Amino acid sequence: MTTTSTTKRWSLVVLFAILFVSLIQPSHGQFGMPKATEEEEGAAAAAAADPMDTGGETVKSVLTEQEEIDIAAILKEARADLETMNMVRKMKEEMGKELGELEQLSKVEVLGALKVSLQELKGLDYLFQDHERALVEMDKEGLIAPEHLQKYQKDPSLLELDTRRAVYFQFIAIAVVAGFIEP
């Protein structure tokens, strides 16, 4: 695969994530990664041992065992969350064409994007240990829209809530593309 092709595909993933995040309605909830039970860990490991349609590669060549467990735990929670499932249903109805384009991506590329999104979710705990510093750093990197800056300066905890929500729904959107979550 050429660099241009890979760049184009990642651009589609990013575009999709941005479009999806723009559809998000404000919600209230707590998302996290509860510790997986031994049963969940065994199921995730068994599922990962089977090759997927990844051009001869297995899930294990893209994800570590812990990442598989974490992804399985998040997806289990997401499937049980009515708000998330309503969002998935709405996304599939309103963005069918875009989903069709993204479903052309290889499983390896989609799993890679899911892995990056998982790492971003995990990194949020570190980033938001200090809300004020997170605000300064994200603003410095141009990650905060100017129209929201004043709101976040008043209450930096809102930045954490909005960021967690956006990264969570990015994760879910990629999981939908991968076929790991259906309405």
Query: Tokens at residue 114, please?
Result: 């899911």
**How far, in Å, CA of 174 to CA of 172, rounded?**
5
**How far, in Å, CA of 41 to CA of 50, rounded?**
15
Query: 50, exposed or middle or buried, with CB in 10 Å at 0-12, 13-18, 19+?
Result: exposed
- pLDDT given at position 98: 80
- pLDDT given at position 69: 92
pTM for the predicted model, two decimal places:
0.66
- pLDDT given at position 97: 80
- pLDDT given at position 43: 46
- pLDDT given at position 41: 52
pLDDT digits (tens, 9 = 90+) for 8-44: 454 444 444 444 444 444 443 444 444 555 554 554 4
Contact at 8 Å (CB) between 109 and 115? no
pLDDT tens sequence for the chain (183 residues): 554 554 445 444 444 444 444 444 444 344 444 455 555 455 444 444 443 444 445 556 788 899 999 999 999 999 999 999 999 999 888 887 887 778 778 888 888 999 999 999 999 989 999 999 999 999 999 999 999 999 999 998 999 999 999 999 899 999 988 888 887
CB under 8 Å to 111, separation ≥6 — which residues? 54, 59, 62, 63, 178
Give the count of beta carbons closer than 10 Å to the beta carbon of residue 79. 15
Give the phi and the psi of residue 51 in degrees, each rounded to 5.
-65, 140
- pLDDT given at position 171: 93
CB under 8 Å to 137, separation ≥6 — which residues? 127
Give the count of beta carbons closer than 10 Å to the beta carbon of residue 99. 16
